[in-house]
Amino acid sequence: MIYKNSPIPIYYQLEELIKGLIEKGDLKPGDALPPEREYAEKYQISRMTVRQAFTDLVNEGYLFRQQGKGTFVAERKIEQGLQGLTSFTEDMKSRGLKPGNKLIKFEIIPADSQIAGHLKIAEYGPVYEISRIRLADDVPMALETNYISANLIKGLTEGIVNKSLYAYIEGQLNLRIDSASQTIESSIASQSEANFLNISKGDPVLLIQRNTYLLDGTPLELVKSVYRADRYKFMIKMKR
């Protein structure tokens, strides 16, 4: 219901009405919304007001537009907190989603100067290069590449990597993962990234680099990830 005499702006009321339908499941991901004209006629409001509501919901990630086709309900973004250090597998399980991997590359390579610097090892020292597509309920979420010293973490196999790397490091090797530093920046998908993530070239992505350390300060890994910006968002709580 839209209340025209309410102090709450009409466009905001319409936004909340549509959000409610999405959250209750009456509108599901992929569903097409009626044209702006139908909303305007139904609630006796201007099409400009409807357009503003749609635009706000697109910006918030509830809807998406396809040129010449209309406006549709978007897949809800997975929210990850930035306060704690967890693995992708742990994140997905905590949200009731089935984590998965599609291994693209698993090999030992000589560390170049950049990788060696991050891992505090000698240049050309052996490192695992592990590239995986990270899945949630079988949907690609991220393209992730890990670099780990082969002299530090021994015995890695494709089978271990396809389960949980952190579980192996802590549970089998009895090493304590302590902290990490992480940077996040926006970018657009290259053609190869788009192919792996089932998106289009030029779509927005999040570039994330993580340096992870053991309890004694030893660098454990350098991780470079490309996350789908349409399916993932990061959240942090701040206290004054």
**What pLDDT digit, counting tens, does each position of 28-53 carry?**
888 888 888 898 988 899 999 999 99
pLDDT tens digits, 94-144: 666 777 889 999 999 999 999 999 999 999 999 999 999 988 888 888 899
Average pLDDT for 89-98: 66
Same domain, 83 and 173: yes
- Structural domain that includes position 65: 10-73
Residue 97 within a domain: yes
Same domain, 27 and 41: yes
Sheet with 177-188: list strands edge to edge. Answer: 99-110, 126-136, 139-149, 219-228, 204-214, 177-188
Same domain, 18 and 129: no
pLDDT tens digits, 165-175: 888 999 889 99
Give the count of domains, the chain.
2
pLDDT of residue 90: 63
Same domain, 17 and 82: no
pLDDT of residue 104: 94
Same domain, 170 and 83: yes
- CATH number of the domain to which 188 belongs: 3.40.1410.10
Of 39, 56, 73, the residue at which a domain comes to its end is 73
> Which pTM was predicted?
0.65
Residue 5 within a domain: no
pLDDT of residue 238: 66
Residue 154: CB atoms within 10 Å: 8
More confident residue, 65 or 195: 195
DSSP secondary structure, 101-146, as one string: EEEEEEEEEE--HHHHHHHT--TT-EEEEEEEEEEETTEEEEEEEE
Residue 1 within a domain: no
- CATH number of the domain to which 55 belongs: 1.10.10.10
Of 73, 91, 112, the residue at which a domain comes to its end is 73
Pairing of strands 177-188, 232-235: unpaired
Same domain, 211 and 166: yes
Same domain, 197 and 216: yes
